[in-house]
Amino acid sequence: MGSEAMGAIDLADPDLYLGGVPYGALAELRRADGVYWNEQAQGTGFWAVLRFDDIVAVSRQPDLFSSAYENGGHRIFNENETGLAGAGEAAIGVPFISRDPPYHTRYRAFVMPALAPVRIAGIEERIAARVESLLADLPLDEPVDLLGRFTVPLPLLTLAELLGLPGEMWRDLHRWTDAFIGEDDPDLRQSPEAMGAVLGEFMGFASELYHARRKEPGPDIASLLANAVIDGKPMPLGEFVGNLVLALVGGNETTRNSLNHSVIAFARDHRQWDMLRSNPDLLAGAAKEMVRHASPVVHMRRTATRDTELGGKRIRAGDKVVLFYPSGNRDEAVFDAPDRFDVTRQIKAHVGFGSGTHVCVGSRLAEMQLRLAFGALARHVRGFEIVDDPARVRSNFITGFKRLEARLVGA
């Protein structure tokens, strides 16, 4: 099928993802035309980048393909027109994901020390203990919604530690995170009034945290951000809030949804789970496969800063260029049998954490949590059964879930 025929599909339509990522459509588009113009009913349209090598090439040229807020930011919609979370939140400053080098690099430099081995010494043991505690409260051999009992709290408890927050705050972090990523889901954003109330609650918390960490800084990420100095100026409250939102979303969505998608994948192919249980040494490589196969983030957007060419197409300055990671991670030119979930797959690179300048700063921590979670599950659980159709988040940005009922079969 040619790209002209496939062009009727709008990859920005959140309804397209309600049944899961449309991998079949992406594959047809990718094979026919790896860079194609996606028309939109409203808006100027965008170039959809679907092949692995093209995604990596764009990601490695931030001077040519900008993520900067003033150029529209990192989402399909223009952040400088509609707000960073698609709802005009003027109080939220620009996070470093929506900045280009050198500013992006400087902001990353303030976060990275909080993830250095000396700062997080012992975190693997603490995560392992949390995993065991959460699993101890999970019933076996009966239906349970894994989100509220396991896949949501685990990364949020880790994130709370990194931010220097009490663990019991994970439920608040969950509500706020869902609101920020759920601009297209009526369950997550029920009304402008409800969103305003959530935002007000979050802003109050963020302001209090900012001033507390300015007064008494510690080794946590919140302290490092609150006390960051860029070009001789302290980070203002608004930018602290924007980067805190980034930490909340980036620090848990990838891990949470890689967990969810992998449970579904193991339920579909029990042989993969049996293989992992019988050979725990596969876990390190399997964690990479989990992220590749899940591709928790659907897209990141760039804007061309000057005329160029990509995939044989002429890209003009000002054009939106949108990278579709689930497509890149299923590119048959890079991955053998890419739709197959394979815990023995040897992966040199994937784009589940992005690529280039903006690659996820917490990727190793995310993989650690996946490894520890499924390592513990392998000791306690003989298999997974999906009880009901998962309830997915209506989103063109996150391949997320609102409910995942599963049965964990006792070992």
The string of pLDDT tens digits covering residues 127-143 is: 999 999 999 999 999 99
> Which residue, 400, 410, 411, is CA-closest to 144?
410
pLDDT of residue 26: 97
> Which residue, 376, 410, 144, 150, is CA-closest to 277?
376
pLDDT of residue 117: 73
Q: How far apart are the first and last CA of the chain?
A: 47
pTM score of the predicted model? 0.94
- Dig out the tokens for 411 from the structure: 């070992």
pLDDT of residue 88: 46
pLDDT of residue 2: 42
pLDDT of residue 86: 52
pLDDT of residue 85: 55
Torsion, Cα 144 147 153 154, to 10 degrees, reads 90
Torsion, Cα 185 190 193 194, to 10 degrees, reads -100
pLDDT of residue 69: 94
Residue 97, CB-side half-sphere exposure with 13 Å CA sphere: 22
Domain ranges of the chain: 3-410
What is the per-residue burial (b if ≥16 Cβ within 10 Å, else e) of 208-225?
ebbeebeeeeeebbbbbb
CA distance 370 to 351: 17
Q: Is the peptide bond before 280 cis (omega within 30 degrees of 0)?
A: no
C-alpha dist (Å) from residue 214 to 112, 206, 225, 236, 346 = 19, 12, 9, 11, 45
3-state secondary structure of 319: coil
Q: From first to last of its 411 residues, what are the pLDDT tens digits of the chain?
A: 344 444 478 999 999 999 999 999 999 999 998 999 999 877 689 999 999 999 999 999 999 999 999 999 999 999 888 765 554 444 688 999 999 999 898 888 878 777 777 777 799 999 999 999 999 999 999 999 999 999 999 999 999 999 999 999 999 999 999 998 888 999 988 888 888 888 899 999 999 999 999 999 998 999 999 999 888 889 999 999 999 999 999 989 999 999 999 999 999 999 999 999 999 999 999 999 999 999 999 999 999 999 999 999 999 999 999 999 999 999 999 999 999 999 999 999 999 999 999 999 889 999 999 999 999 999 999 999 999 999 999 999 999 999 999 999 997
| Domain formed by 3-410, architecture | Orthogonal Bundle (1.10)
pLDDT of residue 238: 92
pLDDT of residue 318: 97
In sign, the C-alpha dihedral spanning 101, 103, 109, 115 is negative
Cβ proximity of 350 and 356 under 8 Å: no
